[in-house]
């Protein structure tokens, strides 16, 4: 189902609202890792902020960036994601995208057994603890709110 069969397209209507919001962010980070000159990371952060607001969007984008980096690092074969800038592909979902979003749905629902099966499918039997940690952190942010960072008080120094 991964890589070789990744050209199969699915409909985005199958996705929940959170997954629909996350998909372009995943695609932009995937693009940024494969084509650094695309500046996909900038579009990913802008898209996340536009979807979830400044504080939550930036936290989700950062967590997504770590998740996608680990996803690419741990996969034994390349994954196919649609180009986020291609209007014709925007509403289509590749098999690989479907697997990744399903994994995150299982993680968000605390469905350990199915999440473990999806990770094993993505990583050909290998479960990387860093990838799991980043996936769970992203999942927690998607359904909740990230911990707020306290800002330091500014004072004038002479």
Q: Percentage of the chain with pLDDT > 70?
A: 85
Assign residue 69 a region (left: φ > 0; alpha: ψ between -120 and 50; beta: otherwise): alpha
Q: Is the pLDDT of residue 1 over 80?
A: no
Quick check: 4 pLDDT over 60?
A: no
Q: Is the pLDDT reported for residue 136 higher than 70?
A: yes
Stated pTM of the model: 0.81
| The dihedral sign for the CA sequence 140, 24, 134, 55 | negative
Tokens of 25: 């962010």
| 45-101 pLDDT, tens digit each | 999 999 999 999 999 999 999 999 999 988 877 889 999 989 988 889 998 999 999
Confidence of residue 128 (pLDDT cuts 50, 70, 90): confident
Whether pLDDT at 6 is above 50: no
Residues 6+ apart with CB under 8 A from 128: 70, 73, 74
Write down the domain spans for the chain: 16-143
So what's the pLDDT on residue 120? 86
Return the top range by mean pLDDT from 1-5, 102-106, 149-153.
102-106
């Amino acid at each position: 189902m991964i890589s070789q069969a990744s050209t199969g397209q699915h409909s985005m209507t199958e996705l929940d609202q959170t997954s629909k919001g996350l998909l372009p962010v995943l695609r932009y980070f995937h693009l940024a890792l494969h084509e650094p000159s695309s500046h996909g990371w900038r579009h990913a952060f802008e898209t996340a902020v536009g979807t979830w607001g400044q504080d939550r969007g930036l936290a989700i984008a950062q967590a997504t960036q770590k998740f996608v980096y680990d996803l690419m690092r741990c996969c034994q074969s390349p994954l196919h994601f649609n180009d986020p800038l291609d209007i014709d592909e925007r509403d289509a979902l590749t098999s690989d995208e479907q697997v990744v979003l399903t994994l995150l749905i299982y993680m968000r629902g605390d469905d350990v057994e199915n999440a473990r099966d999806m990770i094993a499918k993505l990583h050909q039997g290998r479960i990387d603890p860093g990838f799991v940690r980043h996936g769970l952190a992203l999942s927690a942010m998607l359904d909740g709110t990230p911990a707020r960072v306290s800002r330091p008080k500014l004072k004038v120094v002479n």
